Amino acid sequence: MKLVRLSSILHSIKSHLSLRNSLGVSSYSTTTATSVRGSMSCLYRKISPIGDPTVSIVPVLDQWVQDGGAIDKETLQVIIKELRFYKRFAHALQISMWMTDKRYFQPSASDAAVRLDLISKVHGIEQAEIFFNSISTTLRTLPTYTALLKCYALEWESKNSHYDIRIPNFLMGAYCRRGLMEKAETFVDRIISKGGKLDHKTWFYLATGYLQNNQLQKAVEKMKEAIAVCHNRWKPRKDVVAACLEYFKLEGDVEEARNFINLLRAKNIISVDVQDRLLNNFLCEEPNLDARSELNAGDALAGDGEALSEPEVDRTSDSSI
């Protein structure tokens, strides 16, 4: 049983998230290797030849201190970064733990995020969850939450049996909020190629992203996909539904408008009364549709529907329009 509920992780990230660091782990990531300089380069030269991950490097660190070698936290972080760059995760984890357990350096949120990432690579996701639950709340900031999310996303990509649409949906929401639609579409293709099944939220995030980018035709196409696969009590945002209806009005496409309105009714998103009013308006010679007003009438959509900024909130209602 999971020690951490994935939904609570995603909700916590939501309050801190900006996409530029949503896919990174920490301030000392593995994107490039940083040279180890000064006296600590001697320590690194002692560690570097120990290529066997089953051989501990802790005795080397202890001996270095016993011989009077200088130690500081920043340089240890650089060595950890270097080892991660060369995928020597076990040794990087040993230094991370030695740094706090034996040298008593106070860990930062970035240190905790790096250690969590290393634990997941060396010991697996369950041990990473145990570590996450053991750290203080002050260390549970964006870097650590994001690191744990990355652990789940790696697990999702590597094991079909652990497929969870919430993970790709969360990342999809992040892309679409920033208008990175090409990346979002590429990610959708990746999900499908791995055998993943898209749900209404995936298509809804795409629709909203395209709407924000004023690509109305694509927004409508994705919204139709969302409605087609949604459950019968889903209530999408009124402004997104209204934008689709206004698009049909501008295009003068009565047939597509009729199909869209009937689809809304078939999925219990609108009531029969609202369906009739919308259809009658479109069938007029000079439609004067104010879609938002129609949807607001009698609280047509329960609440404001599902928001793009809240990828894990599943807003449903028993009432229809």
The reported pLDDT for the residue numbered 8 is 66
157 sits in the region (left: phi over 0; alpha: psi -120 to 50; else beta) called alpha
Cross-strand pairs, 87: none
Of 114, 41, 116, nearest in space to 75 by CA? 41
* Residue 234 backbone phi and psi in degrees, to 5: -70, 135
Strand, coil or helix: 87: coil
Kindly list the distances between the CA atom of residue 101 and the CA atoms of 94, 227, 309, in Å, as whole numbers in the listed order: 10, 53, 39
* pLDDT, tens only, 26-81: 445 444 444 555 556 788 889 999 989 999 999 999 999 999 888 889 989 999 99
Contact 236, 223 (CB under 8 A): yes
Least confident range from 18-27, 175-184, 281-290: namely: 18-27
The reported pLDDT for the residue numbered 187 is 86
Q: How many residues does the chain have?
A: 321
Of 63, 99, 62, 65, nearest in space to 80 by CA? 99
Contact 151, 124 (CB under 8 A): no
Residue 281 pLDDT > 80: yes
pTM: 0.60
Residue 98 pLDDT > 60: yes
Residue 154 pLDDT > 80: no
The reported pLDDT for the residue numbered 316 is 34
Which range in 20-24, 145-149, 267-271 is most confidently predicted, on average pLDDT?
A: 267-271
Question: Rounded distance, CA 96 to CA 98, Å?
Answer: 6
Least confident range from 33-42, 61-70, 259-268, 305-314: namely: 305-314
* pLDDT, tens only, 194-235: 788 899 999 999 999 999 999 999 999 999 999 999 988 889
The reported pLDDT for the residue numbered 25 is 43
> What is the rounded average pLDDT for all residues in the chain?
80
CATH class label, 166-296: mainly alpha
Least confident range from 102-106, 288-292, 303-307: namely: 303-307
The reported pLDDT for the residue numbered 168 is 79
DSSP conformational letter for 105 = P
Confidence of residue 5 (pLDDT cuts 50, 70, 90): low
The reported pLDDT for the residue numbered 285 is 63
How far from the centroid of its chain's Cα atoms is residue 44's Cα? 36
Domain with CATH 1.25.40 in the chain: 166-296
Question: Rounded distance, CA 96 to CA 77, Å?
Answer: 8
| Average pLDDT of span 151-167 | 66
Residue 302 pLDDT > 90: no
